[in-house]
Amino acid sequence: MRSGLGRAGRLALFGLGGFAVLAVGAAAGLWAQAWDVPVGRPYMSPGTDAWLGTDALGYDLLAQVVQGARVSLVAGVGGAVGAVAVGGALGAWAGLRGGWTDRLLSGATDAFAAVPPVVALLAMALALGPGVATVVVAIAATQWTGVFRAARAEGQRLRAADFYRAAQAMGAGTLHQIGWHVIPALRPVLLSALVVLFAHAVKVEALLAYLGASAPELPSWGKLLARSGSELARGVWWPTLAASAPLALLVLCAQVLADRSGRRPD
């Protein structure tokens, strides 16, 4: 898979790695620690003192942006992994079992999918209180239905495959079946779902932060964006840029990677 990424795909992977390094360094206290103390006058334009300028309270925007990568990455990875794990497991189960298991699980999934995502997201955010964990759970809970369908289709295909039936007939145990047949069969579908959902989850986190339902203790790009709209109208453009550029770049990297990895080498 790695070899089929192409130049743009490798560049995107490199970009995602860069964001990860930024976030880990910020979390470990290596850099960007001065995000919650004023470093200068309010609304300093970008310059040598503060590379991305300062916000309404004189806080350094660059430090906030770097710290914001933490929340975005955790929400993106956590939400995507959660959704893929739940959707993949249930979907594979439904597809492989068939019969009433399939009917019940598919029906329940359809019912879940009928809840508008906005309603589910906001209701969960309210029920669990603001925080990164809330965002992860909310994203996973609303996004798993799509993964379920893909995994179910793959499971059905596997169920009809000769080699799988042969393995069953030879008395392969459940663990062997999962390890040797189910996981390899599902891997391409789940991996591409993972990247697509990561991109989506990052955007959803920004939206929830914008609405005030994300981590209250850390700066996040969505929160920066929420404040920047009115500032933009007064000609203060750098908070908008500082918040939107990394968000767009991160999602772009994931999106390009998803496009490249989803492509079949034909």
Binding site for other proteins (CB under 8 A): 107-108, 110-112, 114-116, 118-119, 122-127, 199, 203, 206-207, 210-211, 222, 225-226, 228-229, 232-233, 240, 244, 247-249, 251-252, 255-256, 259
Nearer to other proteins, 20 or 119 (CB): 119
Q: How far is the CB of 114 from other proteins (least distance, A)?
A: 4
C-beta of 177: minimal distance to other proteins in Å?
Answer: 26
Q: Please tell me the distance from the alpha carbon of residue 70 to that of residue 118, in angstroms, as a whole number.
A: 24
Q: Which residues have C-beta within 8 Å of that of residue 207, sequence separation ≥ 6? A: 121, 222
Distances (CA, A) of 234 to 65, 131, 244: 21, 31, 18
Q: Which is nearer to other proteins, 41 or 103 (CB)?
A: 103
| For other proteins, the closer CB: 81 or 120 | 120
* Among candidate residues 95, 220, 107, the one with its CA nearest the CA of residue 159: 95
Min. distance of Cβ 123 from other proteins in angstroms? 5
Q: Nearest approach, Cβ of 122 to other proteins (angstroms)?
A: 5
Which residue's CB is nearer to other proteins, number 108 or number 133?
108
71 vs 181, beta carbon nearer other proteins:
71
For residues 44 and 243, which CB has a smaller minimum distance to other proteins in the complex? 243
Residue 254: CB minimum distance to other proteins, A: 8
Name the minimum Å distance from CB 172 to other proteins: 30
SS (H, E, C) the chain: CHHHHHHHHHHHHHHHHHHHHHHHHHHHCCCCCCCCCECCCCCCCCCCCCCCCECCCCEEHHHHHHHHHHHHHHHHHHHHHHHHHHHHHHHHHHHHHCHHHHHHHHHHHHHHHHCCHHHHHHHHHHHHCCCHHHHHHHHHHHHHHHHHHHHHHHHHHHHHCHHHHHHHHCCCCHHHHHHHHHHHHHHHHHHHHHHHHHHHHHHHHHHHHHCCCCCCCCCCHHHHHHHHHHHHHCCCCHHHHHHHHHHHHHHHHHHHHHHHHHCCCC
Please say which residue, 50 or 206, places its beta carbon nearer to other proteins. Answer: 206
Rounded to a whole number of angstroms, the minimum distance from the CB of residue 28 to other proteins is: 27
